[in-house]
Chain A
Amino acid sequence: MIDVKNLTKRFGPKLAVDDLSFAVKKGEVLGFLGPNGAGKSTTMRMVTGFSPVSTGQIEICGISMIDDPQTAKRKIGYLPESAPLYNDMTVTSFLNWIAKMRGLSGSTRKEAVAKVIETCFLEQVARQSIDTLSKGYRHRTCLAQSLIHDPEVLILDEPTDGLDPNQKHEVRKLIKELGKEKAVLFSTHILEEVEAACTRAVIVDQGKIVADGTPSELKDQGNGSLYDLFHKVTTTDAQAAAA
């Protein structure tokens, strides 16, 4: 349901994403791995229609993000990396507003808001003002925002960042669960998450895909350790500085 072909992104002379192609089908959870600055977030920003592409094609459920962004955006739930929120709102009013923007109204909206508050364990802070939330709760509020319209495609940029171990576990479970009937693309720096939640993973380095496969295939490539593979195929900062 996510179809990306020959995606390229340039920032001035810098090539942040270099001819990237991948697809995520319904029922698949694709993990996006890679060192800092590999181009994961940049790719996600383009796939969600926030950032324009330099060249390449993006299709969401068969709808081109480049030709018909408004329709394509309806299909996507997106958790940006920094989990941005409007600090002047309360958790409930924020979720209500997102639901309205997503075209939900009346009792459908009420149910949708109640449901994500439950899924993301936000009952405790539902009436709290967002600027007084802890980092983990902010992250969960933003995650809730991405699920509110029950999208067919989910794009989550480091969804477990800043969560406590219990919540990390819950979110992985949630991603796995949601992955059964959606297409999920999520990025992470935690290699265990690949085995815990993904059906497939790719490793991105300097804007290119350098490894691709199911978690067990990738493990085999690294002789039993994902870390060894990761270390082997990616450029470390020291190498990049020397080059």
Chain B
Amino acid sequence: MKTALTIYQRELTAYFTQPTAYAIIVIYLLLSMGLTFTFGGFFRVGDANLAYPHFYWNPWLFMLLAPAIGMGLWSDEQRTGTIELLGTLPTSTWSAIVGKYLAAATVCLVAIALTFPLWISVNDLGDPDNLTIFSGYLGSFLVCCTFLAITMLVSAFTRDQVVCLIVSVAICVLMVMIGFDTVVIELTKILPEGGVEPFIAFGVWDHFNSLMRGAFRFQDFVWFASIIVASLFGTSAILTARRS
């Protein structure tokens, strides 16, 4: 597992020596602040817990930005052939998966953490429940990690970053949209009977909403953890299969 740490350090340095991480973090901050102060009605709503003004927007942003963070994770490695280098070093596929995944998750953690002026402002202006705010941050991070894990799984399938980006955005958008009744109604029309239920189980809002409002529910953590772990195991299986 020491090699997982070495891989993590390399990946994280790579994010920050290239423009990728900066571009994504800056765009995230601009958009999330923009939405908070316009549509989110930061001043108008007077919700010091930040749920609707701020956290509500995160799944919408991460469904686009998490794939952008993670699209290169394995596709680049396969395109440039460095996977052959990694595969012949004395380390396991699993260490590489964990190291790379945690590096991507760190980028998203940095992005989320940099919204801290908002947290300072609400404490300055009002009297928020800081535990609820923490819960909102945790929920946002978990949503981003879930989307990242899915992106990583997709990136194991292809050596093309653009294909990976498009496919993972499509999956993440579906996971966000499935939470809306109008979308479910339309889908019911297209899909055969009983075809919608499996999709609904993949909706993020059920699990994100409760965290956003400050409710820690065991089932939500199980949901996030199982999607992440399943995606990582899937990545390992795909990478092994593609080598032979």
A residues whose Cβ falls under 8 Å from a Cβ of B? 45, 48-52, 70-71, 73-74, 76, 78, 80, 82, 84-89, 93, 97-98, 100-103, 145
Contacts and interface: CB of A to CB of B under 8 A. Distances in A.
B88 A50 contact: yes
B6 A101 contact: yes
B91 A89 contact: no
Given A51-B243, A97-B10, A86 B82 contact: yes
Contacts of B83: 84
A49 B87 contact: yes
Contacts of A89: 10, 13-14, 17
B90 interface: yes
Contact of B14 (A73, A86, A98): A86
Contacts of A98: 85, 89
B121 interface: no
Contacts of B13: 88-89, 93
Given A98-B85, A100-B6, A102-B90, 4 more contacts: A50-B87, A74-B90, A80-B85, A103-B90
Contacts of B88: 48-50, 73, 76, 78, 80
B80 interface: yes
Contacts of A45: 84
A105 to B, nearest CB: 10
Contacts of A50: 84, 87-88, 243
Contacts of B14: 86, 88-89
B244 A101 contact: no
A49 B83 CA distance: 12
Nearest to B84: A80
13 contacts: A70-B91, A73-B89, A74-B90, A78-B88, A80-B81, A85-B80, A85-B82, A86-B14, A87-B80, A88-B18, A93-B13, A97-B10, A103-B90
Nearest to B240: A52
Given A84-B81, A89-B14, A145-B85, A51 B244 contact: yes
Contacts of B244: 51-52
A48 B86 CA distance: 11
Interface of B: 2-3, 6-7, 10, 13-14, 17-18, 80-85, 87-92, 240, 243-244
A4 B60 CA distance: 54
Contact of B84 (A71, A84, A88, A97): A84
Contacts of B84: 45, 50, 80, 82, 84
Nearest to A47: B88
Given A52-B244, A89-B14, A84 B82 contact: yes
A90 B14 CA distance: 11
Closest 7 pairs between A and B when the two form their complex, measured CB to CB: A84-B81, A50-B87, A73-B90, A84-B82, A48-B88, A80-B84, A82-B81
Nearest to A84: B81
A89 B11 CA distance: 10
Most B Cβ at <10 Å: residue of A52, A88, A103, A145: A88
Contacts of A49: 87-88
Contacts of B7: 101
A177 to B, nearest CB: 23
A48 to B, nearest CB: 4
A88 B76 CA distance: 12
Contacts of B10: 86, 89, 97
Contacts of B81: 80, 82, 84
A87 B82 CA distance: 10
Contact of B80 (A76, A84, A100): A84
A52 B242 CA distance: 10
Contacts of B80: 84-87
A86 B83 CA distance: 10
A89 to B, nearest CB: 7
